[in-house]
Structures are given as C-alpha cells and as structure tokens.
Structure 1
Amino acid sequence: MTAALVLTGANGFLGWHVRVLARTLGLPEPIIVDRSTLAAPARLAQSIDGADRVIHIAGVNRGGPEEVEAGNVNLARQLAAGLRACGTPPKTVVFANSIQAGNGTPYGNGKAGAAALLAETTRWLGSDFVDVPLPNLFGEHGRPHYNSVIATFCRVLADGGTPQVSGDRELALLHATDAAGLLLGTTEQRPTVRRTVRQLADQLERFASIYRSAEIPELADRFDVRLFNTYRSHLAPAPVGLTRHADARGNLVEAVKVHGGGGQTFCSSTVPGVTRGQHFHLAKVERFVVVRGEAEICLRRVLHDEVLRFRVSGDEPAVVDMPTMWAHNITNVGSGELTTLFWSNDLFDPANPDTYPEAVS
C-alpha cells in the first residue's frame, strides 16, 4: 500500500491538529495507525510501505517513571520493526520529539531514546529522518490536566473557577497548528512565545471575565488570538442573548464590543431556504448576529460527527461565535428575507482568507 501520509497518535491532541491542517492543505486523508497496529509489525508494514511521510506522534506522557521512559522507547521500537518489515521503506519518517529530550527526566530520556532508535533505523533503511523537538504545546481542545497547563486553566475558568499557580516558571509555547506545520514539513518557522505560568493565568482570567458578557477582549497579536481561541474551545458553543435598549424612537442592540481593537463588520441578506458558510477557520474569531428573520446555525467540529443546531431570530437578538476548526453554516428557515450581521477580528485578506470549505452535514 502506498500512502502520502501516515500518522501514529492521530487521535490525540497534536494528531487532531495535524489532520485538520492537512485537510486545509488539500492533502489526501492520512492513514491512521493505532496502538494495536503499531504492535503488529506485518500489519504496520502494510500501512506504511512506500509512504511519502510517516509522522510518529504516539507517546506516553503520564504514568510512573519507568512506564513513561520505557513506553516512549517501546513505541519507537514497534515503529522501527514495522519499518524494517517494509518492502519499500517510507521516504521520510518524522518524529514529534520534545525540547525536554535528554534532560535527565524519565520523559526526556524516553524521548531521547526513541529519537536515537528511529534515527539509526532510518539511516540503515535509507529513509530521511526528521527530528522535531517541540516545546510546550497549546491549542483548541487540549485535554486538561494532561496536555498542558493552559488546557487546565481554560477548563477551570470555563467551569467558573480560578486557576491556581504553584511553582511559577517560564514556558516556551507553540500553538499545535504551528507544530503540525513543522511535522508536515510545510513550514520551517517556530513562532515560539515565552510566558510565565502566572502571566498565562492572569491573561486567561482577563479573557474569561470580559467574554462572559459577550464582549471581545483585546487581541493584540497572533499569540493572543490563539490563546483566546484555546479558551473558547472549552466553552460549549451556544447563542448568547443580547440586551435590547428600547425607547420611543425604536430599539438598539449592541452586537459587538471589542476591547482595544476593531476588526471587520459586514452584513448580508439571504433569501428563504438558502445556506451560507459551509467552511471553517484555523484562527479567525467570527461572530454571527441575526438582526431580521429566522435562521438555523449549525456547527460541527472538524473530523467529528456531532452537529449542533441553534435556531435564532431577529426578534430576540443573540450572538453565536464560531469556534475555530469547527465547520459552520447559517440557513434562512423563515418565510422572509434574513439579515445577518457578521464580525471578525481581522480584515479580510484575499491572499490568506483563513477559510476552508467543509460541509457541516
């Protein structure tokens, strides 16, 4: 079997981001290698034989010291056995390593051992080996108390709690989509940002406090946008009602209030039965507000099946913010014209629209 892309650890946090980014790049659907296939050399060889690129993400992050160290080496050993069983070895093998490799901890030693084993195996086979040491990763749909302190803080805040900082230190941070680009070989840049744990907790608390009232916090740079989107991924998508101010002249509704920024606002009309959207964004913060008519807004996380559906009306204005990496659409389900206000945090750039076609259902 020949495949363009093969992934281990594809169903984890980083694996999902790699699959989403590959989708935006128009790459063929990758072959997913699960743990049972990794443990079966002949079956594994069938999956990776002649592949253009094998990305090894599967690892052991939690457990006892011996379990973590030996677990990461053993997974690499299983992949190596499959590589040696191939009739046509893959062109390139990429290892999602860690900057902690070789730091003397069980995790660091396990990662270093895995890298050394794969480097030797690919050298012997004639495949290219790409070792990608990654810093602390964050991003949408990270697993709290497992993937990162940011995911933990976001979950605590989403549940109405207050993050607790114990042992403040500086972290080197990289968004998971940027890490995915390095693993796919589509970028050589490492837009790493350094923040202390305390700084992260304080910024996320500000985001949560402002966003609870449906207002948008200041998003001064690329990191802020991605951190805000990470926080939003821990909130269940849902319409948020807006306050209507009425007097003898009529009604007024404040649809978008942005702290320290602008963005772009535009309006559309849609005839009955027509659907707009059917796409997703990697980073864009986007808000829908129906100001006249009846609509159904549908959302689905990319590579997942569940579809969320919300009925909204201009008679009871509400904001619905689109989560990043969720396909979304809006359909006029009324008998008259639908008027919708849209807002995004950045100006539309035709050369880089951050809009990827994807039907919701």
Structure 2
Amino acid sequence: MKIVLTGANGFLGWHTRLRLSALTNHEVVPVTRDNWGELGSLLADADGVIHLAGVNRAETEDEVELGNTGLANDLARCISLSGRPLRVVVSGTIQVDRDNAYGRSKRTAQNTINEAVRTVGGHFVNVCLPNLFGEHGLPFYNSFVATFVRATVSNQDPQLVDNDVELLHAQDAAQSLIDALELEVDRLRPEGVQTSVVDVWNLLQDFHLLYMPVGELPDLSSKFRVDLFNTYRSGLFPSYYPIALVPHSDARGSFVETVRCRGGEGQTSFSSTVPGITRGEHYHLSKIERFAVIQGTARISLRRMFHDEVVNFDVSGDDPVAVDMPVGWAHSITNTGNDTLLTQFWSHELFRPDAPDTFSEPVHPNMLESQP
C-alpha cells in the first residue's frame, strides 16, 4: 500500500515511520509542515492515510482548537477532492470526551475526517490512545515522561503531583495504527500499562543511580522497564557516551568489567574484524545493545533514522569504553587500525531468529558527520 503519513516529523510520526520502515513493505509518503501544501497531490494515488498531524499544547486554547480542526479540514477537503476510497486511520485520544480545547478539537477533527471518508466510500478507523511515552519525546509537550527524563538527566527535582496513569509506548501505539490499516473495525483502543506518576519518577531515579556512574544496567525483566529505560537513554545520547570502563591492572595484565546488569535476560558475543571492514549497518526497535572494543581501534557511527547527521565515536582497546546503541538509530563499527579488531557485543535479550529486531540500514548515505 502507498500510505500518506501526516505529522511524520512529530513524536508519534517518527515512531510510526520507523515501524513502517522496519516491519512492512508499504510505501510511506511523509507529510510535514514543509510539504503540507502538497497534500492534495500526494493523496492522488495513495491507498491509505495515517493522520497524526496535530497540536497538543499551545500558548492559548484557541491555538489548540484551531490547529487541530484546521488540519482536519485540510485533510477532509483533500480526501473529498481525491474521490479515492481511502483507508484513513486517525490517532485519537482518551481525552476526546473531555471539555477542554484538546479534547473538543480532536473530537471535531475526527468527525470532520470521518464524514469526508464516508463520502468517497473509504474506511475510517479511530485509534483511541492513552498517554504515550517513548524515545525522543519533547519535554513539556509530548509526555510528562519526557519532562521527567529531562529533569532526571539534568539532576533536577520537579514538584510531583501523583495520579494514576495509563502509559503506552509509542512503538505499541504505532503498531495499532499500522494494524488499523487492514482491520475491518471503526475503532481500536490499545491498552497500556497501569502505573502512577510517582512510580515513573522513582523508576527513572533508580535507573539514573545505577547507569550514570559506570553504565550499570538496571533490572530489565519486564517490557515496561525496557521501554522506560530506552526512553531514559534517549535523553542521554550522545553527550553521556562513551561510557568509561575501569581497568583493574596488576603484573598479570588487566581485567575490565564491560557489562553489569541487575536482572532480565542477556546475551554476550564477540567478533574479530580485519582492518578497513565495517560491521553493523542496522537499527533496532527495542533492543538494548552495547559495544565495547577489547583490542584495536575503531570508529562507532550512529545516525537517527530519517535524519542526516552522523555521530561518531573513535574508540580503542587501550582505553576501554562502552557505547550503548539507542533504538531507532542505524549504527556500525569500523576497524580503523592496522591490526585485527576485537569487539564485545551485549544485548539485553537472547537472540531469537524468528524475531531478531535487526533491520538493515546504512549509516553513511552521504551524510553530515559530527564528533560529540
């Protein structure tokens, strides 16, 4: 299918585009503020739409209402003009029945788009989402979790108001949106994890106390812990890396502890790489993966998917460090020396051939490079 994805540069848009790229053969047409004016022509030969463009917060309530209803009016008009029986999936919210600017505008937007879809004989699905969290969320905008991550890595102590909350990771939300493209339903309501504001804050503090000093990994025995830890790590990259490892040396040589994890699965492997050869060139959706060079010299390179800048770390076995790969970033390691490179790899889960969570992607397609 050819899928038009609105709001492709936003928080949920990036996660949805990432998952579409990794797990489907759909042709994805990203729509952002830069090409919103081309929406009509982009729908001309499309099969479906995932509509994520919207306004979560603004300085005034009018900006929120007019923003969401205006985007919906634009999309509805383009759908009607296309005359195509499109499958249209809209990201809804559990706040849709609340009498606030966000809830009212999302409700109006859904009704407007649904009416246009019906006029062309298409199919409309509202995916009603609870509170979202995940990597690269904007503090004070996308999620209180993103705000907490910012406060945690900045060693700030925000004033907490505790409430029960249902949290859904953005990748799980993205999967529901993708599923809705083919399901014969009018509404989906994916369920998140029931927790509380204070519990989230306390868990982030636990992560920080372990991980910040020497890269010790916390208990990763549940999906929610992995998702929240990955969200926390995204707030540290790239400034926190590489992680300095501590050699313990005596007359016999040196001993270096490369991975220390408090719980969950784990798998360690190592590779030898001849000079000039690159390994990796892939990304993950949830896997936590650590690289530690044991011998030789190498360059570890990373690029966030759908972005241009490449981040490089030059590392050596003489000065042992670890770099943990953020999810959604293509990464590679290249032997830059004259001798064989020995690298240790660790991931938080056992390798499963039926679900490897590894998707090919070059790191360097003529991209701008930077050194953190």
TM-score, structure 1 as length reference: 0.94
1:53 corresponding residue in structure 2: 48
2:266 corresponding residue in structure 1: 263
CA distance in 2, matches of 1:250, 1:281: 36
1:25 corresponding residue in structure 2: 23
Matches within 5 A, 1:1-361: 4-35=2-33, 38=36, 40=37, 43-63=38-58, 64-86=60-82, 88-165=83-160, 167-185=161-179, 190-212=190-212, 213-237=214-238, 238-361=241-364
Quote how far apart the aligned CAs of 1:258 are: 0.6
CA change 1:310–1:68 in 2 (3 A) is same
Quote how far apart the aligned CAs of 1:271 are: 1.0
Alignment check: 8 A CA contact 1:289 1:320 kept: yes
Alignment check: 8 A CA contact 1:178 1:191 kept: no
Identity value in percent:
48
SS at match of 2:217: coil
Alignment check: 8 A CA contact 1:48 1:90 kept: no
SS at match of 1:142: coil
SS at match of 1:5: strand
Quote how far apart the aligned CAs of 1:70 are: 3.0
Quote how far apart the aligned CAs of 1:280 are: 0.5
Alignment check: 8 A CA contact 1:285 1:344 kept: yes
SS at match of 2:156: coil
Unaligned runs of 5+ in 1: none
CA change 1:253–1:36 in 2 (3 A) is closer
SS at match of 1:185: helix
Alignment check: 8 A CA contact 2:80 2:119 kept: no
CA distance in 1, matches of 2:68, 2:229: 32
TM-score, structure 2 as length reference: 0.91
CA distance in 2, matches of 1:267, 1:27: 32
CA distance in 2, matches of 1:354, 1:164: 38
* Deviations 1:310-333, CA, capped at 9 Å, x for gaps: 111111110111111111111111
Quote how far apart the aligned CAs of 1:216 are: 0.3
Quote how far apart the aligned CAs of 1:278 are: 0.4
CA distance in 1, matches of 2:210, 2:68: 41
Aligned length: 354
CA distance in 2, matches of 1:275, 1:189: 43
SS at match of 1:72: helix
CA change 1:282–1:163 in 2 (3 A) is farther
Alignment check: 8 A CA contact 1:279 1:359 kept: yes
CA change 1:196–1:317 in 2 (3 A) is same
Alignment check: 8 A CA contact 2:85 2:121 kept: no
